[in-house]
Amino acid sequence: MAKIIECVPNFSEGRDKAVVEAVAAAVRETPGATLLDVDAGESTNRTVYTFVGSPSAVVEAALAAARVAYARIDMTKHKGAHPRMGALDVCPFIPVSGVTVEECVGVSKIFALRLAKELSVPVYLYGAASSRDYRRTMPQIRAGEYEGLRDKLRQEEWSPDFGPSEFVPRWGATVTGVRKFLVAYNINLLSTKEQAHRIALNLREQGRGPNQPGRLRCCQAIGWYLEEHNLAQISINLTDFDVTPIHIAYEEAKKDAGDMKVAVTGSEVVGLVPLAALLQAAEYYIAKEGLFILEEEQKVHLAINRLGLNALSPFNPKTRIIEYCVGGVGAGQLGRGSVEELVKGVAARTPAPGGGSVAATVAALGAALGAMVGQMTYGKRQWEGLDATMRRLIPPLHKAATDLIPAIDADTAAFNAYMEANKLPQNTEEERKKRTAAVKEATEQTIQVPLSLLTTQDTTWEPLTQMAVVGNINCRSDIQVGARCLEAGAWGAYYNVLVNLDNVEDAETRKAYRSQAEVLMERAKKGCQAVLQAVDKRASSS
């Protein structure tokens, strides 16, 4: 899965359209960054930009935008309704997919360091990136705003995390850090505004006050009325959808609405939503209703249907799910291409795609064959007594097959990145440091990609062995081929780990990676033998 981070910088300019567009253009022109939204406010004199991309791309885009702001925004002349302390007031980085909060903390610190160094401005860290409780939230850091910043910077406890403890009149100060993705979510009610607000008070974390907290954590909510649709809504902000998912908010609202004899008529997501949020909902309804659904597209369709996301306006996954907007889901160019193209690409006079991509392809096919045998068993009258078993065995094999497809491209991308890193200039000390860091990061990826392949194929042996014992006996050769493909893929990944370990300088790190790969390879050999023995046993007894 591609690493996607969302960045939502807030700049203190919302009236000068030329400046607003210049900042937007800087983001658009950054390779690998996709600008999703520009929200300029005249009364606040503030513009919120939303863009996504890889970790390195969002840093470059944010820096490009900051350079424009540094040249064109003057805080000595700024007035607006929104609290602020700098030209680039706040720049949060938000994990979307394939990336952790901890990784985003590292990204925010890289951005802070580079911004402070390049522009010589003070930069503070907040949220998950902060290490000081008294300056963890925006209100804490922004207290006194721009007008009080000169005096604030003189206090030792308010020295910036990066940059000089000096007041820069045109700029002020910037706050950067990490927060979780906020899902703006509205639930439709055929009720009064007051009834909607009563439910909102029951749900939201703060409830009706300190002595009457609500039921849902990380949930902010109010009730309002939409004249244009002639219905009320519970307007919800889910500040951490892993703590309170969309479907939980929806189901809890339905409970209260049912008690009040009020009809719920679907819901809506405002703006964009991470794929994970809808897949959470899909898995909930699959489990609740005892459904058997494997394909991601069908799971998304189920979530849209059960949550009623089409009630007020069409919900198009291609334009509303972040990963689909930026192409961060599924196969890359190699994985999407034809078998002929892949084979010819491997046979060409180029080092990539090579053994790693072939290993991922073979392993994906092996897992797919296991899933196929399950599909050829499930739902057939002859083996209907095995339906429950197939519902358990097919999903992990299907998931492994799907998860391994992106690895076909990931291995080639990791190799190419390593080669490019080695080509970086080394003329100055700064260039040498940059090249060393880039080579180290690229080397890490050349090892992590095949290790990830080994880890994924390791999940297939138990279900594939059980499939060999009870699955459609007419497909026994498919199970045998599948097992051999998975083992071959494991060997390919193992060899790739070993060859890339030559580029790791630290002996302890090399030893740890080798040990991890050897354990997984040994499990693959034993797993393959277990599957083949199970098939042979059934064949000899039939």
Q: Which residues are annotated as catalytic?
A: 82, 411
Q: Is 305 helix (H, G, I), strand (E, B) or coil?
A: helix
- Distances in whole angstroms, Cα of residue 97 to Cα of each of 26, 106, 352: 24, 16, 26
Angle at the Cα of 206 from the Cα atoms of 201 and 209, rounded to 5 degrees:
85
- Distance, in Å, from the CA atom of 508 to the CA atom of 506, rounded to the nearest integer, reads 6
Containing H/E element for 107? Answer: helix 101-119
Strands 10-11 and 4-7 turn out to be: unpaired
C-beta of residue 96 within 8 angstroms of C-beta of residue 7: no
Q: Is 70 helix (H, G, I), strand (E, B) or coil?
A: helix
- List the one residue out of 39, 46, 36 whose CA is nearest residue 14: 46
C-beta of residue 361 within 8 angstroms of C-beta of residue 412: no
Strands 88-97 and 33-41 turn out to be: unpaired
C-beta of residue 233 within 8 angstroms of C-beta of residue 171: no
Q: Is 192 left (phi over 0), alpha (psi -120 to 50) or beta?
A: beta
- Distance, in Å, from the CA atom of 170 to the CA atom of 88, rounded to the nearest integer, reads 11
